[in-house]
Copies of this chain bind each other. A is one copy, B any other.
Amino acid sequence: MLRRYPVGIPLSGDFDLVEADVAELNEGEVLVETHYLSMDPAPRLRMDGAAVFPPPLPLGQVVMGRGVGIVRGSRFAGLSTGDAVAGELGWQEYARVSGAQLRKVDPQAGPLQAALGVLGPSGITAHCLTNYAAKVQSGDTVVVSAAAGSVGSVAVQLARSLGARVVGVIGGAHQARFVREDLGADAVVDYRSSCLDADLADACPGGANVFLDSVGGALHNVVMACIADHARIVVFGYISAYNSAAASQREYGSIYQIIRRRATLCGFLISDYAPRFSEALTHLGAALAAGTLKSFEHCVQGLDNAPAAFAALFDGDPVGKQLVQVRPLKNSKQRVTP
């Protein structure tokens, strides 16, 4: 549960680990045994009492978080005990949730946790970014700002498959190796380099035609300095500011470059693409089956390690999808009222 709103990077002490009975299911509800929780940066924005959009998470309540698990009891017509499901489960071992808000997962499509990553929100977001929002085409030079992250690691692969030259922005040797060797990026640049502008210019000889940015801040401006004419910039996050007070005040980019390059910069919320999610999943599933798309995950064991795994999104050097494996439970008495 969220004990207090973190200041800066969240600490374990900002959270409480609480044990409680599971209440009886109401009509339409389902009891889900959580197997994996997805660790994502965006909920940090809601761990702020002054947040406006999205609104603050209430203190003393279970922390929001997407997960996958197995139905252990159901009073919802569309789901039965034993079904695999994904959705908003929260940071808890058992979740009592409305069945209508869960997505049934096909266990044949891949490992269960893929429903949180490459066959879930991260993959769908990467697919919509590259195909629908940025319309990446063969010959484009595409810069991906958090290339080793959950969305970035899929976006790099998809942009490569679309025939683009892909430049991944990374931090450190571990991420560099991952993005270059495992994801197949054409080049990587380290955002901590003392000559990042020159590194980027080398990596993008004709300028960047597409910039997929979830980082913002100083990095955004450096990449904006090397965009090509008529570049398309899609901003879908600004993680560089998620731990600052007044994150919503962050400015970005250079109006001069936007005009000089007649660039188009657009904001992206994945919810706008809901009508195309199933189409996206079909493409992603086929690519995964064909081996042209790979799933990369890093998994931490136990719900008690969730706060540290969450903080590592901001100050670690995560590669791929960051997960918490909730099962097998440690020190847990299963007191479930089915």
Task: Compute how far the CA of A260 lies from the CA of B238 in the bound complex, rounded to whole angstroms.
Answer: 12
Q: Check if A248 is an interface residue, CB within 8 A of chain B.
A: yes
A250 touching B256 by the CB < 8 A rule?
yes
B254 touching A251 by the CB < 8 A rule?
yes
B252 touching A253 by the CB < 8 A rule?
yes
Q: Check if A41 is an interface residue, CB within 8 A of chain B.
A: no
Task: Compute how far the CA of A257 lies from the CA of B260 in the bound complex, rounded to whole angstroms.
Answer: 22
Q: Report chain B residues within 8 Å CB of A237.
A: 259
- Point out the residue from B254, B264, B272 that lies within 8 Å of A262, measured CB to CB: B272
Q: Check if A180 is an interface residue, CB within 8 A of chain B.
A: no
Interface string of A252-289 (1 = CB under 8 A from B): 11111111111111111100100000000000000000
A255 touching B251 by the CB < 8 A rule?
yes
- Point out the residue from B259, B264, B266 that lies within 8 Å of A269, measured CB to CB: B259
Q: Check if A249 is an interface residue, CB within 8 A of chain B.
A: yes
Chain B minimum-CB-distance residue to A240 = B255
- Tell whether A250 pairs with B259 under 8 Å between CB atoms, given A264-B265, A265-B265: no
B255 touching A250 by the CB < 8 A rule?
yes
B255 touching A238 by the CB < 8 A rule?
yes
- Tell whether A249 pairs with B260 under 8 Å between CB atoms, given A265-B266, A266-B265: no
Task: Compute how far the CA of A221 lies from the CA of B261 in the bound complex, rounded to whole angstroms.
Answer: 21
- Point out the residue from B235, B263, B264 that lies within 8 Å of A259, measured CB to CB: B235
A255 touching B53 by the CB < 8 A rule?
no
Q: Report chain B residues within 8 Å CB of A320.
A: none
B259 touching A268 by the CB < 8 A rule?
yes
Q: Check if A247 is an interface residue, CB within 8 A of chain B.
A: yes
Q: Report chain B residues within 8 Å CB of A259.
A: 235-238, 267-269
Q: Check if A220 is an interface residue, CB within 8 A of chain B.
A: yes
Q: Check if A216 is an interface residue, CB within 8 A of chain B.
A: yes
Residues of A within 8 A of B (CB): 53, 216, 220-221, 235-238, 247-269, 272
New contact pairs (4) apart from A250-B255, A262-B272, A263-B266, CB-CB < 8 Å: A235-B258, A238-B259, A252-B255, A259-B267
